[in-house]
Structure 1
């Protein structure tokens, strides 16, 4: 059963909306108060920083007044929201078709295409003060801008003519190709996510968002999984499961695996369907072996979902696993994860062997301290920097991690100088698009896209496949 509403009953939705209405100004005020004192590296510039404080400090008394006046009602609203979360569905499927158009009509527009593009991107939509810890700001604007950049790159006539995929020799792109499916991570803020959904609906009829299960033992009723799935094809089935193990800051978010089955085409031989799985694994696990356990669950749950949803006459056209895995294939400390048996089932086109990537790969996890520098300020400049090995290692983390901790990856992740190590420097690639080796597909292109320069701290990855 697909969940198109947050709650089974309308009165539960009304009560939840009321609690959100009371909480929203308090949470916003608290976030803005803290944000004033967490300037980005861009705002630490004398002129920009002065404007930051001149614009925000006068609002401090207003934020404090809202916080004090509404604190007691907000506490009551918070506990009401926690109670209602126990009855909330684990995701919302939003379907927005053109006037007079049905699900079947929309799917028909994209049928008989044997080339599909799947993309993954981590967009860091957190409350403003938490985004600033990642050296990002103006989250509300970023949410709309990310949606605008994606939509601006899409061919409005794709429903009529499927555009030719870019050359397979192009591995760094400034613009998104025509994307059929988008797997998104870190869409954590509910209001900002809705802004993004509204923008993406201009082209994409089917979107799953607000994904997660909230309870005291999972995420302390705080952040959901942050996952989102965007599709031009009809979604036939979906399921979300929360990981059984997490640690550190991930204890406050309900990370897990979003599993989706889509309708591709109905033929006389059967129904062509595709499976796409979207995930975000434990961050900064250190010495605690959490990711290994999560990968075990990914392997188990994908198998169970395929078995549970595959109907008689279904022809599985592709089976894709996407997401932010928070480990790379090269770093010594990540080798045991690169050797996980999941990679005997799902193929990573960007790796040669365990511990060695293709020469054309680049890392996807940026150095947060360098996000605002001129060489990565536009998609074109960012692409040029990625192609230059000495510049690339300044802006992308190196694949030399011994222990993945917050200290090693953020606070002490200073750019190197001296001779460039071509195999490791700027090569921490943690965002993946994988395909199941048991489903016959051909990878036509695998690319890294710089279109989201300065609006997120990850590089989106896109894969174009063709099917028989």
Structure 2
């Protein structure tokens, strides 16, 4: 059974919703621009200093007055739209589905599966902080619509590049040699994948919404004038047993499923869906609930959706969303929760299926997160029990997302010992509170996002490879209140906070399938575009030929 694209059961309700949101949007947009005028990112402050621009106070005064007046004028129309919009949330399905024929194709790394009796699946997860522009600036990130477009293009360009890896068998070999090594001519300084903070003359109508003066066009942008398989700086490659570990300035090639978090802004989500649709074909976005939740009550009003976003090369057969009911404070304004998805379509058998779940937990409160972990394990079990058929061959079961706790902070010890890590395998985890030596934190320090060591993929790659630089630019562990932090332990590397997880489970897959991680990648291609490090892994599934 395939999903319908509209979140509403008929065109009439969808039209009413569009009218209601159309009346609300101008008021929302003017408020967003008011915040954006008042809050500057560190990059904008740096530009003003470099260009000796002293007109910012005038822009701040006149811009804030103008947008405040427009906000007041549009408020009555927004209230009228709210009367139409809010009741319709009770009949809205908690996600939108975008489907189109795949017109952009990535390399098929499973073309010889019948000979090897192995298939592999690539996964990618990352937190993009695509909040409305005015709110995103409190995280030192602006220009939400432009960032969404650039991120979508970057993912497509990285995923569709050829998968090339050269192994050198010599005494001096240190493992994998990438196409950027001395075996292949080096690219020019402006290689593909670099983030260039130069002025661009291109600006479309939607991007003009976020114009904030003469510097509005100076944004990070993918530079596509070089071969997409080249790096300015070779990836850091090492092995943990049979697993290849890389820190790469490019997205991994042939990623099959992309799971993103904090895609809160509706327009940004649509831009991402349109950018990734030609490559993936199946996209779930605008995931979550709005207005009073549970429906018909006033216990909690949701201004934002969950921020979850999923793009898949395989058809989505079933999807189910659950909202965490115990969020508090500002986190209660967003419908953070769990998205469980069943995929189908890999041509091993006519009944092959896959299961993937992604989530975003709330920050700050460990007891609440522990309860939410209990909820998600229950919801996943119920979803799989309802959607699984006896004749299906389940090939993987993956759980990923922004867990908002790490495996090294003393303040997160409660969550570190949760049973979810007994059910699922975390390839980065050595045990509760202990990471493997090669692990790198995924949460960046927001004030330094645009420092020289962070502002482009190659520099960020070198930063992650250096333990001394990681201490300066990655978020450190969180100590217990009143207890001095002793970190790292003797003879252990400095890791930082790893709050973005990719887990997999073997107990729920078919008995004649064996899963293992063959590649794990830290991606720096979104340097300057988000405050998290996207991570990816490739799962290898060995098939028992006697059972096929």
Distance 1:203 1:51 in 2: 44
Determine if the alignment matches structure 1 residue 432 to structure 2 residue 501: yes
Report the CA distance shift for 1:112/1:58 in structure 2 as closer, same or farther (over 3 A): farther
Report the CA distance shift for 1:76/1:136 in structure 2 as closer, same or farther (over 3 A): same
Determine if the alignment matches structure 1 residue 117 to structure 2 residue 122: yes
Q: Secondary structure at the match of 2:129?
A: strand
- Find the counterpart in structure 2 of residue 94 from structure 1: 98
Q: Secondary structure at the match of 2:279?
A: coil
TM-score by length of 1: 0.88
- Verify the 8 A CA contact 1:397 1:426 in the aligned structure 2: no
Distance 2:319 2:258 in 1: 15
Bigger mean CA offset, 119-128 vs 30-39: 30-39
- Find the counterpart in structure 2 of residue 281 from structure 1: 361
Determine if the alignment matches structure 1 residue 466 to structure 2 residue 470: no
Q: Report deviation, 1:37.
A: 1.5
Report the CA distance shift for 1:156/1:214 in structure 2 as closer, same or farther (over 3 A): same
Q: Secondary structure at the match of 1:347?
A: coil
Distance 1:54 1:421 in 2: 54
- Find the counterpart in structure 1 of residue 395 from structure 2: 317
> How does 1:214-225 map onto structure 2 within 5 Å?
214-217=290-293, 219-225=300-306
Determine if the alignment matches structure 1 residue 171 to structure 2 residue 246: yes
Q: Report deviation, 1:148.
A: 1.0
- Verify the 8 A CA contact 1:171 1:361 in the aligned structure 2: no
Q: Report deviation, 1:256.
A: 0.8
In structure 2, which of residues 430, 433, 437 is the aligned counterpart of residue 355 of structure 1? 433
Distance 2:65 2:469 in 1: 44
Q: Report deviation, 1:323.
A: 0.2
Report the CA distance shift for 1:29/1:53 in structure 2 as closer, same or farther (over 3 A): farther
- Verify the 8 A CA contact 1:243 1:294 in the aligned structure 2: yes
Distance 1:294 1:63 in 2: 39
Q: Secondary structure at the match of 1:184?
A: strand
Describe the superposition over 1:110-162 as per-residue Cα deviations: whole angstroms up to 9, x where unpaired: 777511111111000101111011010111111111101101112268xxxx7
- Find the counterpart in structure 1 of residue 6 from structure 2: 5
Report the CA distance shift for 1:71/1:110 in structure 2 as closer, same or farther (over 3 A): farther
Determine if the alignment matches structure 1 residue 373 to structure 2 residue 451: yes
- Verify the 8 A CA contact 1:260 1:275 in the aligned structure 2: yes
- Verify the 8 A CA contact 1:111 1:265 in the aligned structure 2: no
Q: Report deviation, 1:170.
A: 3.3
Determine if the alignment matches structure 1 residue 254 to structure 2 residue 335: yes
Q: Secondary structure at the match of 2:302?
A: coil
Bigger mean CA offset, 178-187 vs 110-119: 110-119
Distance 1:149 1:163 in 2: 18
TM-score by length of 2: 0.75
- Find the counterpart in structure 2 of residue 449 from structure 1: 523
In structure 2, which of residues 137, 140, 143 is the aligned counterpart of residue 135 of structure 1? 140
- Find the counterpart in structure 1 of residue 206 from structure 2: none
Q: Secondary structure at the match of 2:280?
A: coil
Q: Secondary structure at the match of 2:29?
A: helix
Q: Secondary structure at the match of 1:374?
A: coil
- Find the counterpart in structure 2 of residue 26 from structure 1: 27
- Verify the 8 A CA contact 1:82 1:221 in the aligned structure 2: no
Report the CA distance shift for 1:64/1:335 in structure 2 as closer, same or farther (over 3 A): closer
Counting matched residue pairs gives 444
Determine if the alignment matches structure 1 residue 213 to structure 2 residue 289: yes
Unmatched segments (≥5 aa) in structure 1? 404-415
- Find the counterpart in structure 2 of residue 410 from structure 1: none
Unmatched segments (≥5 aa) in structure 2? 114-118, 167-175, 177-236, 238-242, 295-299, 543-548
- Verify the 8 A CA contact 2:247 2:524 in the aligned structure 1: yes
Report the CA distance shift for 1:80/1:422 in structure 2 as closer, same or farther (over 3 A): farther
- Verify the 8 A CA contact 2:109 2:120 in the aligned structure 1: no
Distance 1:86 1:172 in 2: 44
Report the CA distance shift for 1:20/1:175 in structure 2 as closer, same or farther (over 3 A): same
Report the CA distance shift for 1:210/1:457 in structure 2 as closer, same or farther (over 3 A): same
Q: Report deviation, 1:202.
A: 2.5
- Find the counterpart in structure 2 of residue 408 from structure 1: none
Q: Secondary structure at the match of 1:398?
A: coil
- Verify the 8 A CA contact 2:441 2:496 in the aligned structure 1: yes
Distance 2:80 2:479 in 1: 45
- Verify the 8 A CA contact 1:398 1:424 in the aligned structure 2: no
Determine if the alignment matches structure 1 residue 74 to structure 2 residue 78: yes
Q: Report deviation, 1:33.
A: 1.1
- Find the counterpart in structure 1 of residue 189 from structure 2: none
Q: Secondary structure at the match of 2:301?
A: coil
- Verify the 8 A CA contact 2:423 2:505 in the aligned structure 1: yes
Q: Report deviation, 1:265.
A: 2.4
Report the CA distance shift for 1:132/1:265 in structure 2 as closer, same or farther (over 3 A): same
Distance 1:206 1:426 in 2: 35
Distance 2:355 2:500 in 1: 19
- Find the counterpart in structure 1 of residue 209 from structure 2: none
Report the CA distance shift for 1:232/1:132 in structure 2 as closer, same or farther (over 3 A): same
Q: Report deviation, 1:215.
A: 3.6
Distance 2:462 2:149 in 1: 26
